[in-house]
Structure 1
Amino acid sequence: MMWQDNFREWQNDAELDETLKRELVSIKEPSELAERFGGYASFGTGGIRAKLGVGTSRLNFYTIARATSGLADYIQKNNEGELSIVIGYDTRHFSRDFAVLSANILAAHHIKVYLADHVIPTPELSFLVRHFQANNGIMITASHNPAIYNGYKVYDADGGQITLDMANAITAEIKQYDASLLSLPINYQQISDNSIISLNEDIEQLYLEQLQKVSRNKQMITQSGAELNIVYTPLHGTGERLVTLGLASLGFKNVHVVPEQAVKDPDFSTVHFPNPEFPEAFDLARKLGQEQNADILIATDPDADRLGVAIKNSEGHYDLLTGNQMGALMIDYLLRSLSPTERNQYDYQVVKTIVTSDLGANIARKNYCQIRETLTGFKFIGEQIEQIEEAHDQTRYLFGYEESYGYLIEPYVRDKDAIQAAILTAEMALDAKLNHKSLLQRLHELYEEYGYYSEKLLTKTFENSSEADQLELKIAALRQEPPKQIGNLKVKRMEDFENSQSTDAEGHVETIKLPKSNVIKMILDDDSWLAVRPSGTEPKIKVYLSAIGVNELSAEQTLKQLEDFATQQLLS
C-alpha cells in the first residue's frame, strides 16, 4: 500500500482518536506525510523505538495495539499452560496509557498480566519477569532518547531482551494486523479485565532484597558510609526510589538528590538530552556537588538502566568518566574483593561487547579471569549469563558491561542495571576515599600498570535515505579493500562480523563464532582498534575508536590518527 492510501485511510476514519486527528490535520507537507505513513517503525531485538505521533511509522495507540496483538498471538502459539506477562513503564508521554492498552489486549487474549501501577526502572521489569516466571515482559520506554520518543521493549522468559529469532517470529505475527490496524481496540483509559494484577510499590522490596548481594564490603559501609558525600540525579526518570533506598539500606546516609531533576517530567525540561553519557546532563548535579562538597556525582537515565559517574578531581571540578573507564574500575574492584577461596574454587567470567575497551579485559585476564566477547547489545550479554549458569560447573559470572554506560553485577536481572551500578560505584568510591585516593587516582594507577587507553565515539545521523545509501557504499568499499595502514600503524587484523570472518595481514582467515552483524573492526599492530557499526535503533552510524599508549600523550596521538581516518574515509 502506498503512503497516500494509508494517509487517506486515517484521514477518513471517523473513529480516529481525537488527539491524533488534530495532529493529522495540522500536517501540510507531503514529505512529512510520506515519512509518517510510508511504513511501520521496525520491530527488532530491542522492540520498537520511534517518535510519538500520528502515522503508521510513529508510536501511538494504534501501532501499540498492533504490536501487542501480534505479541499476544506469538505467546499463545509458542507456550503451553497458564500464560503470563509483566508490564512496566517509565515517565514519558503516554507510557502509562500504552501500558494499560497493552494490558487490556493481552488480558483479552487470556494472558495473565502483572501491571505496575507506578513508573518502574527497566532492570526492575527484567527482575519481575524472572520473579513471576512469566512468559514475557514489556517495558514502555525510550531509555535516554529525547522527549519526542517512546518505545516498546519486549523481554523473554529469562528476563533478557528478546533474540533476533524471537523478534522475527513476533514481527511475523504483528504484520497480520496491518490491514485491520484502525479497527484494533484502543482502550487505554482504564483497566478492563480482572486478570490484570496491579503491582504497587511494595513489590520493590523483593528487588531491594536482591540488591544487597551487590555489596562486597557491608561492614566498611556500615562503619564509614556516611563519610562519602554523594549527589544523585535521576534525570526526571524512574531511578530515584530504588537508588536512594538501596544506598540508604547499606549505610550511605550522605546522599543529596538534585531536586529539579527528581520531578518526573516527561519533557525532561532541565536537560536537552536525558543521557548520562553527556556532560551537560550533569550541570545541575555539578552545581549541587559544589554546594555540598560532594565526592562523586551519579546520574541514571530515565529508565535507570544506564549510569553516569563524575568524580571530583584535585582542582575541585568534576570529571565525567566513560563507560569503558567505569567498567574497568568495577572489574578491578570486584576481582580485588574475591577471597582466596573464591579465586581457587571458581572460574570467573567477564562478559563484554566487541566495541568495549580492552582495558577491563586485560585486568581480568591478568587476574586469571576469563573473557567472553559478544555483539553490541545487552541481550547478548544476557545470553552469555544464561549459558554460564546452565553449565553447572565451576564457571561463575563476575561482571558484564558495554561501553555505553551499561553494567550488570548480580544476574538476578538480565539487562543492564544502573541501580546495581550506583551501589557498587558508591562502595568503590568509599573504598578509595578510605585509602586516601579517589576513583580518578585509582584509574590512573590502572593505566600505569596496564597502559593508557583513550576512546572516542563518532556518530553521524542520516538526514535522508541518500546519505544512508552513500555510507553503505563506503562500508562496502571498506570490506572489499580494507586499509593496510592507519596513520603510522599497520592493520594486523580485520574482523567482518557480517561475513563472520577475521582476516590477518597475511590473508589468513578464521571464522568468527558470533551471530552475523553489520560491524567491521580493524585491529592495529599495537592493539588499538576502530569499529564501524550502523545503529540498530536510530538512523545513524557509529564509529568506535580505542587507542593504547605507553602514556596519555601517545594514546591521544594514536586516537587522533584513528579519528582522522574515520572522518575522511567514512563520515565526510
Structure 2
Amino acid sequence: MDSALKAKYEIWLEKAVADPDLKPELEAMAGDEAKIEDAFYKDLEFGTAGLRGVIGAGTNRMNVYIVARASQGLSNYVINHFPAEERSIAISYDSRIKSDVFAKIAAEVFAANGIRAYIFKELMPVPCVSYATRTLKCAAGIMVTASHNPSKYNGYKVYGADGCQMTTAAANEVLGEIEKLDLFADSKRIAFEEGLKAGSIAWIPDEVYTAFVEEVKKQSVVGDAEINKDVAIVYSPLNGAGLKPVLRTLKETGYTNITVVKEQEQPDGNFPTCPYPNPEIHEAMALGMEYAAKYNADLLLATDPDSDRVGIAVKDKEGNYQLLSGNQTGMLLTDYVCARRTENGTMPKDPVVIKTIVTTDMVEQIAGHYGVRTVNVLTGFKYIGEQIGLLEKQGKADSYIFGFEESYGYLSGSYVRDKDAVDAAFLICEMFCYYKTRGISLLDKLDELYKRHGYCLNTLYSYQFEGAAGFVKMKEIMTDFQTAGITEFGGRKVETLLDYNTGIDGLPKENVLKFLLEGHGSVVVRPSGTEPKLKTYVTVSAPDKAAAEVIEKKIVEDLKKRING
C-alpha cells in the first residue's frame, strides 16, 4: 500500500472519534488495501455542486469531518466577502441518512465563526433553501442532500447570496479555503443548543415556508379559462422532502383527489422500495404506476428526495400508463406556458426560455412559434439561475417565463434560482386539467407538437465507472472522443464538434463534447458532475418515431463500442 494512504488511514483510526459509526468501519478496513485506497485515494471534491459522495469513513467519503471542514471553508469565504452584519447562512436538508446530523454540524461551525445560521425545523426541498437565502438576505445557503443518488450517498450543495448554486469562481475560492484546513484541528464548532440559546443559530420562521408556497401558487397561467380540477392524482415523494409542500400547494389550489403512495410517503433515507430514488428511472416510478392502475388515476407524479425533480406518467388510449421523459414534459410545459401567456396577454416584452445544451433542441422551435427567444446554457440548473440573475440586473426579470433541463428539472418563476419540483408539480397538474377539460390528453398534445415541428427522439445512456480506476478510465475515454477525429456515428456524418473545454458562445469552459450530426442530430458526451458516470445524450430528428428509433439504435451501438473498447 502507498505509504501516504497508510498514514492517512492510521491518522483516521486515531482521531475519527466524533461519530461512533466511523471507528468500526475504519477497523473493518484493516488489511483490505482496496477498501482503504477507495476511501482515501483523494479528497471528496468540492465544486459548483458542492460535495457529494458515499457516506462513511475517509477523505473520499461524506462524514462529519468532511462536512465540518467544508463549512469552515465556506465560513472563511463569507468572512472575507461580507461585513459582519451581513454574515448569515440558510440551511436545509432532506431525508437522507445523516442529513439532519450534517445540517446541525454545519450550523455549529457557522455559529462558531460569528455567522448566524438559519435552519429549517424539519426537512425541506432544495427550492425552499434557495428561497430562504434570498428572503432572509443571507450571504449563502446550503442544502444537505445527494439529490437522486442511491441511499449510500449524501451531499452538500452550496448557494450564493442570489439563491443560485455557487459559481465556478466562488466555488474555487471556497475550495482554496478548505484546502488550507487540517481536517481534525481547524474547524471551529459550538454546541447546537448553545447556539440556539445565544441566538447565533435560529430556526427559519414558518412564514418563510408559507411565502414560498404563495410564490409557487402565483405561477398559475390558466387565467380566466375554464378548468376542472377534479382529476385523480397519485403522488409519491419517494420518501423525500416533497410531501408537505407539494400536497399543501396542490390542495390549496383546488386539487383534492390525491392518493399518496403509502410505502414512499414518509421520509426514509434507506428508500426501501426505490433503491435509486430518481424519477428518471422506471424502477423508481414502478410502485407509483401500480397505485395509478389500482386507483384508476388520471396522472402520476413523483418527486426526488430533495424535491427539485419531478417525473410523471399518464394513460394512453389503451388505458396503460406511459412515463414521459424530462424532455417531453419540458416541451409540453414550454408550449403550455407560452400559449397561455399569449392568450392571457401576460407575455412580457422580450420573453425568454432557458435550457441546457443537452436538452432537446425542439424547445427552440416550440418557443419560436410564439416569438419567444431561447437561451442555451451549460449542463446544470445553476447556469439557468445565473441567466435569470443577469436578466434581473438588466431590469428584465419578468422576461424569464420558463427554464428546464432534460433531467426532469423545471422552473417557471424567478422567486428561486434552482429547479423546483413543487412549482413543476403544480404547473403539470394545471396543464393536465386545462387540456383534459377540453378533451385533450398530454399524449395528444405531444403528438400535436411533433406534427407541428417534426419528430425528435432524445435518449440518455449512462456508463458507470467506480473508484480510482474508473476515474482514470473516464478521463481516457473523454480524451479519445476529443482527439480521435471521429467522422460519423451510426452512419450519420459528424458535421461539427463543439468542444466546450475551449469556451463556446461566451459560456464557461466545461468538459463537454457535442457532435453535431447531419440531419439535425447530435451526440453529447460528458462526465457527470455528481456521480461516477459518463453520460451520453443522443438526439435524432426523423419523419416519425419508428424511423428515429432505427437511426438512434445505430448511433448508440457505435457509442457503446467506443466507450467499452
For this structure pair, what is the TM-score category when the shorter chain's length is used for normalisation?
A: over 0.9
Listed as ranges, the matches of 1:274-423 within 5 Å are 274-339=277-342, 342=345, 346-392=349-395, 396-423=399-426
- Against the structure 1 CA distance between its residues 182 and 58, is the aligned structure 2 distance closer, same or farther, given a 3 Å change threshold? farther
The AA in structure 2 aligned to 1:103 is: A
2:508 is the alignment partner of 1:515: yes
For residues 347 and 131 of structure 2, the distance between their equivalents in structure 1, rounded to whole angstroms, comes to: 30
Show the counterpart of 1:253: 256
For residues 466 and 135 of structure 2, the distance between their equivalents in structure 1, rounded to whole angstroms, comes to: 43
2:218 is the alignment partner of 1:213: yes
- Against the structure 1 CA distance between its residues 304 and 51, is the aligned structure 2 distance closer, same or farther, given a 3 Å change threshold? same
The AA in structure 2 aligned to 1:368 is: G
Show the counterpart of 2:442: 439
- Against the structure 1 CA distance between its residues 387 and 16, is the aligned structure 2 distance closer, same or farther, given a 3 Å change threshold? closer
Instruction: Report Cα offsets for 1:132-163 as digits up to 9, x if no partner.
Output: 11100011111111111111110001101001
How far is the alpha carbon of 1:194 from its aligned partner?
Answer: 2.1
- Against the structure 1 CA distance between its residues 231 and 341, is the aligned structure 2 distance closer, same or farther, given a 3 Å change threshold? closer
More moved, 192-201 vs 327-336: 192-201
For residues 4 and 141 of structure 2, the distance between their equivalents in structure 1, rounded to whole angstroms, comes to: 34
For residues 208 and 471 of structure 1, the distance between their equivalents in structure 2, rounded to whole angstroms, comes to: 42
Instruction: Report Cα offsets for 1:377-434 as digits up to 9, x if no partner.
Output: 0111100111112222597001111000000111101000000000000011111111
How far is the alpha carbon of 1:478 from its aligned partner?
Answer: 3.0
**Is the CA contact 1:475–1:570 (under 8 Å) kept in the aligned structure 2?**
no
How far is the alpha carbon of 1:52 from its aligned partner?
Answer: 0.8
**Is the CA contact 2:280–2:408 (under 8 Å) kept in the aligned structure 1?**
yes
How far is the alpha carbon of 1:218 from its aligned partner?
Answer: 5.5
Instruction: Report Cα offsets for 1:239-263 as digits up to 9, x if no partner.
Output: 0111111111111111111111111
- Against the structure 1 CA distance between its residues 367 and 10, is the aligned structure 2 distance closer, same or farther, given a 3 Å change threshold? same
How far is the alpha carbon of 1:13 from its aligned partner?
Answer: 2.9
How far is the alpha carbon of 1:291 from its aligned partner?
Answer: 2.1
2:530 is the alignment partner of 1:571: no
Instruction: Report Cα offsets for 1:419-474 as digits up to 9, x if no partner.
Output: 00000000111111111121011111111111111121111111344444344334
- Which of residues 531, 534, 544 in structure 2 aligns to 1:551? 544
Listed as ranges, the matches of 1:9-20 within 5 Å are 9-13=11-15, 15-20=17-22
For residues 14 and 110 of structure 2, the distance between their equivalents in structure 1, rounded to whole angstroms, comes to: 28
For residues 468 and 95 of structure 1, the distance between their equivalents in structure 2, rounded to whole angstroms, comes to: 26
The AA in structure 2 aligned to 1:487 is: G
2:5 is the alignment partner of 1:3: yes
- Secondary structure of the equivalent of 2:218? helix
More moved, 336-345 vs 518-527: 336-345
How far is the alpha carbon of 1:345 from its aligned partner?
Answer: 5.4
2:109 is the alignment partner of 1:105: yes
**Is the CA contact 1:487–1:562 (under 8 Å) kept in the aligned structure 2?**
yes
Show the counterpart of 1:122: 126
**Is the CA contact 2:112–2:190 (under 8 Å) kept in the aligned structure 1?**
no
Show the counterpart of 1:505: none
How far is the alpha carbon of 1:559 from its aligned partner?
Answer: 1.0
2:143 is the alignment partner of 1:139: yes
The AA in structure 1 aligned to 2:389 is: E
- Secondary structure of the equivalent of 2:507? coil
- Which of residues 169, 188, 209 in structure 2 aligns to 1:204? 209
How far is the alpha carbon of 1:366 from its aligned partner?
Answer: 2.2
How far is the alpha carbon of 1:288 from its aligned partner?
Answer: 1.6
Show the counterpart of 1:273: 276
For residues 458 and 508 of structure 2, the distance between their equivalents in structure 1, rounded to whole angstroms, comes to: 25
2:227 is the alignment partner of 1:234: no
How far is the alpha carbon of 1:184 from its aligned partner?
Answer: 4.0
**Is the CA contact 1:63–1:181 (under 8 Å) kept in the aligned structure 2?**
no
2:512 is the alignment partner of 1:535: no
For residues 239 and 414 of structure 1, the distance between their equivalents in structure 2, rounded to whole angstroms, comes to: 18
Uncovered stretches (5+) of structure 2, i.e. residues with no partner: none
Identical-residue share of aligned pairs (%): 37
- Secondary structure of the equivalent of 2:318? coil
For residues 545 and 51 of structure 2, the distance between their equivalents in structure 1, rounded to whole angstroms, comes to: 41
**Is the CA contact 1:328–1:363 (under 8 Å) kept in the aligned structure 2?**
yes
Show the counterpart of 1:149: 153
- Secondary structure of the equivalent of 1:454? strand
- Against the structure 1 CA distance between its residues 13 and 391, is the aligned structure 2 distance closer, same or farther, given a 3 Å change threshold? closer
How far is the alpha carbon of 1:6 from its aligned partner?
Answer: 1.3
The AA in structure 1 aligned to 2:508 is: P
**Is the CA contact 1:16–1:182 (under 8 Å) kept in the aligned structure 2?**
no
The AA in structure 2 aligned to 1:214 is: Q
- Secondary structure of the equivalent of 1:18? coil
Listed as ranges, the matches of 1:178-193 within 5 Å are 178=182, 180-181=183-184, 184=187, 190=193, 192=195, 193=198
2:25 is the alignment partner of 1:32: no
Q: Count the aligned residue pairs.
A: 559
How far is the alpha carbon of 1:533 from its aligned partner?
Answer: 0.4
The AA in structure 2 aligned to 1:170 is: V
- Secondary structure of the equivalent of 1:272? coil
Show the counterpart of 1:495: 498
The AA in structure 1 aligned to 2:242 is: G
For residues 453 and 50 of structure 1, the distance between their equivalents in structure 2, rounded to whole angstroms, comes to: 35
Show the counterpart of 2:431: 428
RMSD, aligned α-carbons: 2.0
For residues 269 and 483 of structure 2, the distance between their equivalents in structure 1, rounded to whole angstroms, comes to: 46
For residues 519 and 66 of structure 1, the distance between their equivalents in structure 2, rounded to whole angstroms, comes to: 30
Listed as ranges, the matches of 1:60-71 within 5 Å are 60-71=63-74
**Is the CA contact 1:62–1:186 (under 8 Å) kept in the aligned structure 2?**
no
**Is the CA contact 1:346–1:394 (under 8 Å) kept in the aligned structure 2?**
no
- Secondary structure of the equivalent of 1:371? strand
More moved, 75-84 vs 231-240: 75-84
For residues 163 and 103 of structure 2, the distance between their equivalents in structure 1, rounded to whole angstroms, comes to: 18
**Is the CA contact 2:54–2:152 (under 8 Å) kept in the aligned structure 1?**
yes
For residues 454 and 337 of structure 2, the distance between their equivalents in structure 1, rounded to whole angstroms, comes to: 20
- Against the structure 1 CA distance between its residues 8 and 394, is the aligned structure 2 distance closer, same or farther, given a 3 Å change threshold? closer
For residues 127 and 345 of structure 1, the distance between their equivalents in structure 2, rounded to whole angstroms, comes to: 23
More moved, 550-559 vs 117-126: 550-559
- Which of residues 231, 241, 246 in structure 2 aligns to 1:243? 246
How far is the alpha carbon of 1:343 from its aligned partner?
Answer: 7.0
Show the counterpart of 2:178: 174
